[in-house]
Amino acid sequence: MSKKICPSCQSTDIIPNADIVGSDDLAIRIYEKPDVTLRGMRHHPIKAWVCTQCGYTQLYVSQPRELHKSYLRYAGQE
């Protein structure tokens, strides 16, 4: 839906980058070192794009390049 067209119903009535609310924020967690410590942990928030016609929802990590960098640190490639 990053092109603001719903893949389910083809509507253009899209709410982009909606916050996901709950008891905890929805995020991707990457431990940047195999011997995990809290200082080596990074959270990457997720945003929702929602079609207001059919309700179809897609989730996107808000900073994909930062997530990739964290993963590379974890994999020992950076």
pLDDT tens digit string along 1-28? 768 899 999 999 999 988 877 656 666 6
**What is the C-alpha radius of gyration for the chain, rounded to an integer number of angstroms?**
16
The owner of tokens 């997720």 is 46
pLDDT over 70 (residue 33) = no
pLDDT over 90 (residue 72) = no
Q: What share of the chain is helix, strand, coil (3-state, %, to 5)?
A: 20, 35, 50
pTM of the shown model: 0.65
pLDDT over 70 (residue 37) = no
17 forms beta bridges with: none
Q: Which tokens belong to 69?
A: 């960098």
Q: What is the pLDDT of residue 54?
A: 96
